[in-house]
Each structure stands twice: as structure tokens, then as C-alpha cells.
Structure 1
Amino acid sequence: MKPHLLLVPGMLNDQRIWSDVIAGLGETAYVQVANVLTQSSMADMARDAWSLLASVPNDAPLVLAGFSMGGYVVMEMLSQSRRPLHGVAFLSTSPYPESPEGMDTRQKTLRAMHKDFAKVVEGILPWSTHQVSQAVQDDLRQMMLDLGGEVATRQTQAIMGRTDHRAVLTQLTCPVHLLCGQQDRVTPPALIQALAALIPHAPCELVEDCGHLLPREKPEVVIRHLRQLLV
């Protein structure tokens, strides 16, 4: 039976963050991309993601892949536990709830976004990427500007309110793959390594010459791992 794959974008991302990955996977799986743009909590994002999968047969192989904020959504989906999973991939994400320091930083970011959203986007791009082409930077900038400040505000508030799901992660028995850019400054490698400590059976790859935006920076690595999970 052909497997199903749900891709969950990160903050200020839509299906475009996965475009290279989807193209590279070809006919390997039935691919859907979760909508994480309209909700105000991780729980709502997860419920809507499960609703998107309602028509997938219970005996069909299903793989979930979450990038950055999408990783938090997948963790919430696991806590809601609707059905068996064939595999899970976590990309550029963290197992931890928001820290007090993180709360302060995000509050400052919210104020900056309300003042000049386009300026914040210009700051996000160099901080989030590592040696990407101008064309990729332009694509990423346009995606973020298209989604806008209201989406960014909702998502930031949802991230700040995320639940600690480390206990759920320790109970995962399906295949899990972990990926993070070696040069990721948003969710540094130490965070994916902390996730690996909770899921000892999960292979963890630190991708060289790669920042935070793994699906666009190194799609070939993401494709390789997803193909392994989809077998």
C-alpha cells in the first residue's frame, strides 16, 4: 500500500518551504501539507492536521514530518494519538517548552513585528540561513511577506504556549529520524541532540553547511531520510 506523508511547516512557512522536498519525492507517497496559518494554539494546529488525515485508511502507512514549529505540532499530534504511525521525522526543532528567556525574546519580536514586519523579515533571513543562493533567499522572503504579521503573531503566541511533550517522546516506538543543520542558530544542534537523548533508537544527522531552513537549504538530505521512513 502506498504510504501517506504529512509535512508540517514551520513559522511563517506554507507549502513552499517543502516545495523541493515534494518535487524530489515524486510518486513515493501521497503527500499532504498541514495548514498552520489560522490557528492560535498548537492543540488547534494538531487537531486540524489530524482532521486533514481523516480519510487516510487506518492500515495505510503514515509518516509525519515536522519542521521547526511544525515539530512542536507533530509532538502535539502524538499527544493526541489518533492512530498508529509508520514513522516520524523531526527537523530543526526542540523538545523543550518555551523558557523564560525565550518568552522575553518572543515578546520583543512581537513588538518589533507590529512596528515594522518587513524589517523583521529582513533580519530573520540571514539569521536563519547559511550560504543559500539569492534565488532561495528571495523565495523565502516572499513567502514570509505573503503570510504577513497577523499569521506571525498567532504563531508566535502558539509557540510561547506550547506544552512540554518530553514524556510522550520517550514512549515513541515507531521509526524516528532527527535532522538539524550544523550551522543552525535558531534551534542549535544541542536541541536536536536533546531530542535524540529522549528517543535513543532515532538516528540523528547534523547536516553540514546548513542553517535552520533545512527543507530549502538541503532538500536532498531531507528527501533521503523521508524515503527511508516511507519504505
Structure 2
Amino acid sequence: MKPVLLLIPGMLNDASVWDDVLPCLPGDWTVRIANVQTQESIAEMARDAWQQLDDVPLSTPVMVTGFSLGGYVAIKMLAHPQRPLSAAALLSTSPLPESNDSRTVREKTMSAMQANFPKVVDGIVKFGTHEASEAVQERLRQMLLSVGCETALRQTRAIMGRADHREALSRLSLPVALLCGEHDRVTPPQLTHQLAQCIPHAQTCIIPKSGHMLPVQQAPAVAKVLASLFH
């Protein structure tokens, strides 16, 4: 069986967040994309992501790649592996559990979403990108709006309840790449450097000319790192 790449989208993303990455990947990979829109917790998202690999022979190389919220899911999978993995990539994510300050911010954001979801989406798009064209911003805006407020609330609660897996990450031996946009204001580069401290052998890649939305803003750079890691 061909090598399998499992991609895990971020919060308020559907599979289309990877659309620009897919054409840049090696043609001999099988790509599967997890759905993280329906579950109540990171653990449930990880459970369902593992199920995407149920039919993959244990001898087949598998790489898990998570973006943002998907990074939390990938970290959960790495901390509690259910099959051999050949490599992993964590994009625009953090090793830290929820702090009291971030919990307060998320609770306020949830209230704002319930009051005026389109307005919050506009703010997310602007805060999550760096010098993005109007076309890119509109594409993201439509994706977020289509995923919807109820999913956003459910995913936010899941993020708030995430566990601390830093000790498990320190025991990883498989190849790992950590990617972050140079201008990421959601999960800034210092969080990627903290993640690198948890996984000392990891390859750290700070990608220029990108905010948080790495798979959209710098898809070729993301694909290049994945290809170098998983060959």
C-alpha cells in the first residue's frame, strides 16, 4: 500500500483548508483528511482520526499532520498511539494546556460568537492571516461561515478541555516537524519553540510571509517540509 498521510484540519476548517497543499505533495502518497467538526473533545477527535487508518496495514508508512486544533488532535494521537507511525508534523499549534487567561478569552469569544458570528469570523480571518489578499480572506471567511457557529462553540470547548501531553512528547523517537508562520498571532513562534523543547530531535520550521493559516498562505512550503520528512 502507498504511504498514507493523514491531515487534520484546524478549528472552523473543513477539508478545503488543505486544497493548496494537496497538489504540491508527492503523487505516490495516499492522503486522507480527518473530520473534527462533530466531536465533543480532543480525545473523541483523535479516536475518530485513528479510525481513518483502520484499514491501513501496520507495515504501511503513516504520517499524521495536524494544523492548529488539528495539532492538538495529532499530539493526543502521538501521546497514545494505536498503531506504528513513521512521522508527524505539527503546524501552528501549542504544547500547553489551557491557562486561566486563555480560558477567559475563549469564554468571551464564545459569547461574541453567539451574539454576532459573522463579525467574529471577520476578526478571526484578519487576525489569522498576514498580508493576505482580499480573495484569500474571502475564501477563508466563506469556509468559516459554512462550518458554522455551533461547530465553533463545540470545538472551542474541546480546546479548553485539552490535556497536557508534554511528558509523552518528550519520549517520541519518530521524525517530527514543527511548523509555524513567522507572523502567527494565534499560536506565535515562541509556542513552536516551546514545543521543540518537548521534542528535542524535532525539525523546527518558521515559515516567512505567513500568519496562522499556514496551509493556505504558504502551501508549497508546508508540502516541501512534509515531503522531506516522509519519504
Q: Which category describes the TM-score, using the shorter chain as reference length?
A: over 0.9
1:132 match: 132
Residue 26 of structure 2 contacts residue 227 of structure 2 at CA under 8 Å; is this kept in 1? no
1:169 match: 169
Residue 86 of structure 1 contacts residue 229 of structure 1 at CA under 8 Å; is this kept in 2? no
Alpha-carbon shift at residue 26 of structure 1 (Å):
5.0
1:2 match: 2
Distance in 2, Cα, partners of 1:225 & 1:205: 8
Distance in 1, Cα, partners of 2:133 & 2:23: 19
2:70 match: 70
Q: Deviations over 1:82-117 (max 9, x none)?
A: 011110001000000011000000000000000010
Distance in 2, Cα, partners of 1:198 & 1:230: 21
1:150 match: 150
Distance in 2, Cα, partners of 1:177 & 1:28: 21
Alpha-carbon shift at residue 142 of structure 1 (Å):
0.4
Distance in 2, Cα, partners of 1:108 & 1:28: 45
Distance in 2, Cα, partners of 1:183 & 1:211: 5
Distance in 2, Cα, partners of 1:100 & 1:207: 29
Alpha-carbon shift at residue 2 of structure 1 (Å):
2.1
Residue 182 of structure 2 contacts residue 206 of structure 2 at CA under 8 Å; is this kept in 1? yes
Q: Deviations over 1:163-217 (max 9, x none)?
A: 0010111011000001101100000000000001111111101111110000000
Distance in 2, Cα, partners of 1:26 & 1:76: 27
Return structure 1 stretches of 4+ with deviation > 2 angstroms.
none
Residue 182 of structure 1 contacts residue 209 of structure 1 at CA under 8 Å; is this kept in 2? yes
Task: Among all aligned residue pairs of Structure 1 and Structure 2, give the percentage whose two residues are the same amino acid.
Answer: 52
Distance in 2, Cα, partners of 1:35 & 1:84: 21
Amino acid of the structure 2 residue aligned with 1:94: S
Distance in 2, Cα, partners of 1:195 & 1:120: 28
Q: Deviations over 1:5-57 (max 9, x none)?
A: 00000000011111111122152310000000000100000000001110011
Q: CA RMSD in A?
A: 0.9
1:141 match: 141
1:57 match: 57
Distance in 1, Cα, partners of 2:38 & 2:80: 20
The reply on whether 1:211 has 2:218 as its aligned counterpart is no
Residue 29 of structure 1 contacts residue 230 of structure 1 at CA under 8 Å; is this kept in 2? no
Three-state SS of the structure 2 residue aligned to 1:174 is coil
Q: Which residues of structure 2 form unaligned runs of 5+?
A: none
* Pairing 1:27-106 to 2, within 5 Å after superposition: 27-106=27-106
Alpha-carbon shift at residue 161 of structure 1 (Å):
0.2
1:112 match: 112
1:13 match: 13
TM-score normalized by structure 1?
Answer: 0.98
Distance in 2, Cα, partners of 1:168 & 1:136: 37
Query: What is the aligned length?
Result: 231
The reply on whether 1:182 has 2:182 as its aligned counterpart is yes
TM-score normalized by structure 2?
Answer: 0.98
Distance in 2, Cα, partners of 1:150 & 1:168: 32
Distance in 1, Cα, partners of 2:80 & 2:201: 22
